[in-house]
């Protein structure tokens, strides 16, 4: 799986009067069943596409790797969709990459499931069954450290975040363990920035509970989104309503449970996504339930998309449902905020036919909602050579208002190409708060990125302490520039940008 192909796209929009432009499409072709798990906007405003692939024999010969199974597969694209680098991480058996998180130094943590023993790129023996395999890489894809977490049971990594102390939470599922509560439970592992394990937590009831999503919270903790089939039992204290429910668990920065909530109707409701808002959180997924349990919105047809807005304590603010007339799968949720207010919500997914094929089936779709969940528009994204099977994996909403859509496209099962599309939407662009200079993360511990929001050919980046003494300076030709703040003492600093177009702008940076 190697070649990148350029293609044209068109959009079928309902309604049609909102302007949306396809900037580029990239098709990464394969002859095998490749799994695309995620697209991550990197801190330098490029794109890391991650998943699992079987390497071609030619690539194995070049890399002197003899593995015939699935490997972690990463491709970094620049803003124009051109390949920057491609990497594989291989064990001697199947290894599936599930989650990727950007780290504050510009690199990434990769979290996946490994069936491999020690050998090739894997440096630790299998713990038994399947294990969590974590690899931290720098911005060039080079390994910094790796860790295998497991036991005689079976563990599968599904989600990862970096916390405010620069450590990590990694969450996955564990089964066949005498330390759990049911057939399948949720395992949460807390690590420091160097991969040292700090604690483990198992969550679950007497049946099956599977982690689907995890996001960081403002207080340094984590919010877990779990698809639960368990009644109140084991560690679960909330009521259960149907075949499967949304189970949401809030953890502190030390990995302790602070609160949990359960949402569902009498049928099957499958949680898929989480996002932070100005007032709390959005949880979402698919629902087959009509009004019942604590679901207050009806079922239109097939499987609906169901969103619930929560405050920071997990109390419901509103809930809404949306329908494309068949089996609707929600894959991504992004919140647009301005001046600490939620302006809108962008959700994306795809629709599968259950009994009959409809226009738009197996096609990527997007819905844009206002801050209260009211639908503003819906659009389909179709390729010039649209395949029979198209499944959206992820959507990233960029700070400049552009949208990156990633998924798989195949004419037949077992031969999935990766399909990456960049869009610009004028309506969303109007909601994005424009700034001449952005600094992130801010406050910062180690590395920060300075993004210049206007056009220039060359600029000086100057840093001053609060006494007015210049402590750093550098020249740049890039919109985004990485700066090292590790030598600085704690406190506030002024970043000044001076360009060759005689424009000057300032912003404050906090070193913690």
Tens of pLDDT along 258-280?
999 999 999 999 999 999 998 99
Q: Residue 355 above 50 pLDDT?
A: no
Write down the pLDDT at residue 327.
Answer: 80
C-alpha span between 89 and 136 (Å, rounded): 11
Span 149-178, mean pLDDT? Answer: 94
Q: Which range of residues forms the domain containing residue 473?
A: 437-511
User: Is residue 52 in some structural domain?
Assistant: yes
Structure tokens at 403: 């949208």
- Which burial class, exposed, middle or buried, applies to 459 when counting CB atoms under 10 A from its CB (0-12, 13-18, 19+)? buried
CATH code where residue 216 lies: 2.130.10.10
Tell me 55's DSSP state. Answer: P
* 179 & 321 share domain: yes
More reliable by pLDDT, 360 or 469: 469
Backbone Cα Rg of the chain: 23
Write down the pLDDT at residue 186.
Answer: 98
* 291 & 356 share domain: yes
- Which burial class, exposed, middle or buried, applies to 456 when counting CB atoms under 10 A from its CB (0-12, 13-18, 19+)? middle
Give residues with Cβ within 8 angstroms of 485, minimum separation 6: 444, 445, 446, 447, 448, 509, 511
* 378 & 481 share domain: no
Among 429, 443, 419, 457, smallest CA distance to 493 is for 443
Among 157, 202, 153, 208, smallest CA distance to 176 is for 153
Span 201-226, mean pLDDT? Answer: 96
Q: Residue 338 above 80 pLDDT?
A: no
Write down the pLDDT at residue 341.
Answer: 78
Last residue of a domain, one of 431, 447, 470: 431
Write down the pLDDT at residue 478.
Answer: 87
* 181 & 89 share domain: yes
Last residue of a domain, one of 403, 431, 459: 431
Integer distance in angstroms from the first to the last C-alpha of the chain? 43
DSSP conformation letters of 264-319? --SSBEEEEEEEE-SSEEEEEEEE---SBTTB-S---SSBEEEEEEEETTS-EEEE
C-alpha span between 233 and 183 (Å, rounded): 13
Q: Residue 68 above 80 pLDDT?
A: no
Q: Residue 357 above 80 pLDDT?
A: no
Write down the pLDDT at residue 111.
Answer: 98
Write down the pLDDT at residue 9.
Answer: 44
Q: Model's pTM, two decimal places?
A: 0.87
Tens of pLDDT along 73-105?
999 999 899 999 999 999 999 999 999 999 988
- Tell the residue number behind the tokens 């992820």, with chain if given: 394
Q: Residue 61 above 80 pLDDT?
A: no
Tens of pLDDT along 9-38?
444 444 433 446 788 999 888 777 788 999
Write down the pLDDT at residue 12.
Answer: 47
* 402 & 459 share domain: no
Write down the pLDDT at residue 7.
Answer: 45
Tell me 105's DSSP state. Answer: T
Could you tell me how many helices (H) and strands (E) the chain has, helices first?
2, 37
User: Is residue 10 in some structural domain?
Assistant: no
Among 165, 164, 186, 166, smallest CA distance to 175 is for 186
Angle at 273 between CA 344 and CA 417, to 5 degrees: 100
DSSP conformation letters of 369-429? EETTS-EEEEEEEEETT--SEEEEEEEEE-TTSEEEEEEEEESSTT-PEEEEEEEEEHHHH
C-alpha span between 394 and 47 (Å, rounded): 12
Split at pLDDT 50, 70, 90, the class of 366 is: confident
Last residue of a domain, one of 381, 403, 431: 431
Q: Residue 371 above 70 pLDDT?
A: yes
Write down the pLDDT at residue 63.
Answer: 55
Q: In what order do the strands lie in the sheet with 257-263?
A: 209-216, 222-228, 245-251, 257-263
Tens of pLDDT along 384-416?
555 567 788 898 888 777 889 898 887 666 677
Tell me 489's DSSP state. Answer: P
* 368 & 448 share domain: no
User: Is residue 475 in some structural domain?
Assistant: yes
* 401 & 463 share domain: no
What proportions of the chain, in percent to the nearest 5, are helix, strand and coil? 5, 55, 40
Mean pLDDT of the chain: 88
Tens of pLDDT along 467-499?
999 999 999 988 889 999 999 999 999 999 999
Angle at 401 between CA 440 and CA 322, to 5 degrees: 115
User: Is residue 9 in some structural domain?
Assistant: no
User: Is residue 1 in some structural domain?
Assistant: no
pLDDT above 90 covers a percentage of the chain that reads: 61
* 427 & 441 share domain: no
* 449 & 400 share domain: no
Domains contained in the chain, number: 2
C-alpha span between 350 and 364 (Å, rounded): 5
More reliable by pLDDT, 28 or 111: 111
Of 78-87, 91-100, 173-182, 340-349, the least confident: 340-349
Write down the pLDDT at residue 245.
Answer: 98
* 341 & 473 share domain: no
């Amino acid at each position: 799986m190697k070649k990148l192909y350029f293609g044209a796209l068109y959009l079928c929009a309902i309604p049609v009067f909102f302007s949306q432009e396809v900037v580029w499409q990239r098709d990464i072709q394969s002859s095998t069943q490749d799994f695309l798990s995620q697209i991550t906007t990197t801190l330098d405003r490029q794109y890391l596409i991650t998943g699992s692939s079987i390497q071609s024999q030619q690539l194995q010969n070049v890399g002197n790797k003899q593995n015939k199974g699935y490997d972690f597969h990463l491709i970094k694209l620049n803003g124009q969709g051109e390949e920057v680098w491609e990497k594989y991480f291989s064990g001697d058996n199947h290894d599936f990459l599930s989650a990727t998180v950007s780290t504050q130094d510009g690199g990434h943590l990769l979290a996946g499931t490994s069936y491999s023993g020690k050998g090739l790129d894997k440096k630790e023996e299998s713990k038994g069954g399947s294990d969590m395999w974590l690899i931290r890489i720098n911005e060039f894809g080079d390994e910094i450290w790796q860790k295998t977490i497991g036991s005689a049971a079976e563990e599968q990594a599904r989600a990862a975040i970096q916390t405010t102390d620069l450590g990590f939470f990694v969450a996955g599922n564990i089964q066949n363990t005498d330390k759990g509560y049911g057939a399948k439970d949720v395992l949460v592992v807390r690590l420091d920035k160097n991969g040292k394990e700090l604690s483990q937590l198992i969550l679950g009831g007497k049946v099956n509970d599977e982690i689907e999503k995890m996001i960081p919270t403002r207080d340094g903790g984590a919010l877990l989104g779990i698809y639960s089939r368990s009644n109140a039992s084991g560690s679960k204290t909330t009521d259960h309503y149907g075949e499967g429910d949304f189970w949401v668990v809030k953890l502190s920065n030390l990995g302790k449970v602070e609160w949990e909530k359960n949402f569902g109707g009498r049928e099957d409701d499958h949680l898929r996504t989480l996002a932070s808002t100005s007032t709390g959180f959005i949880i979402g997924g698919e629902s087959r339930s009509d009004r019942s349990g604590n679901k207050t919105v009806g079922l239109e047809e097939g499987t609906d998309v169901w969103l619930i807005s929560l405050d920071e304590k997990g109390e419901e603010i509103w809930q809404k449902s949306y329908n494309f007339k068949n089996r609707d799968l929600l894959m991504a949720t992004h919140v647009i905020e301005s001046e600490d207010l939620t302006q809108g919500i962008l959700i994306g997914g795809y629709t599968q036919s259950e009994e009959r094929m409809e226009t738009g089936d197996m096609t990527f779709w997007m819905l844009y909602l206002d801050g209260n969940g009211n639908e503003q528009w819906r659009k389909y994204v179709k390729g010039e050579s649209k395949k029979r099977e198209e499944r959206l994996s992820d959507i990233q909403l960029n700070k400049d208002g552009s949208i990156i859509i990633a998924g798989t496209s195949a004419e037949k099962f077992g031969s999935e190409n990766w399909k990456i599309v960049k869009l610009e939407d004028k309506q969303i662009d109007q909601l994005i708060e424009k700034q001449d200079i952005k600094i992130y993360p801010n406050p910062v511990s180690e590395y920060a990125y300075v993004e210049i929001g206007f056009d220039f050919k060359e600029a000086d980046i100057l840093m001053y302490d609060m006494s007015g003494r210049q402590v750093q300076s550098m020249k740049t030709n890039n919109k985004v520039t990485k700066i090292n703040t590790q030598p600085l003492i704690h406190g506030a600093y002024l970043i000044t940008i001076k360009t060759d177009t005689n424009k000057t702008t300032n912003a404050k940076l906090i070193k913690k």
